[in-house]
Amino acid sequence: MLRTELIRPLHELLDGHGRARGGDVALADDQRVVSWSELATTTRRLAGHLAARGVGSGDRVAMVMGNAVETVETYVAAPRAGAVAVCLNPDAAPAELEYMLADSGARLVVTDDAHAELVAGLVAPEVPVIQVGVARPGRCSYAELIGSDSGTAAPDPADLDATAFMLYTSGTTGRPKGVELSL
């Protein structure tokens, strides 16, 4: 039986879970615990900040960071901004990361403290870097973005067929290839 009532745009699902499950834990790691209502808010805010920075329909938002709440928030916020979330393996060799960042056409990169210097050295100077943790000069603080509204509404596109994610193959038969996925 196909449950078509469950097929909804991402923002509608998040808002629904936020209303229905409110304070229940949605995500947790060693540093943060985020409820369903907080997840709806943080992803909406981050999507608004991405849009305010010119990230829009089809733009690539690369993520180079370890497993953390922020990884999931970014993975969800990018499609809420109409962008494509490109989750890259933070343990990949620098040459592989450099290739994937360039190949994906990353318009913006979100990274953590452990990978910030590496990423900054691999992307073009005009590519903004948002840093989880203590942001260095010239980089945006992730915590500041999710902690405030941008003044720009999250676009929250409703097209379920639009590309929302890009994952890279392992490259066993050549260079890694970006595989596009919809919601």
State pLDDT tens for residues 120-129.
999 999 999 9
Please give the Cα distance from 21 to 119 (Å, whole number).
36
140 - beta bridge partners? Answer: 130
Residue 45: the pLDDT is 97
pLDDT tens for each residue of 133-153: 987 887 899 999 999 999 999
pLDDT digits (tens, 9 = 90+) for 39-63: 999 999 999 999 999 999 999 999 9
Q: Give CA–CA dist 77/83, Å, rounded.
A: 9
Q: Which one-letter amino acid corresponds to residue 10?
A: L
Question: pLDDT band at 172, cuts 50/70/90?
Answer: confident
Q: Where are the alpha helices (DSSP H) in the chain?
A: 10-21, 36-52, 69-80, 94-104, 116-122, 142-146
**Cα–Cα distances in Å, from 148 out to 42, 139, 144, 167, 171?**
9, 17, 6, 29, 39
Contacts of 95 (CB under 8 A, 6+ apart): none
**Model pTM above 0.95:** no
Number of C-beta neighbours around residue 64 at 10 A: 28
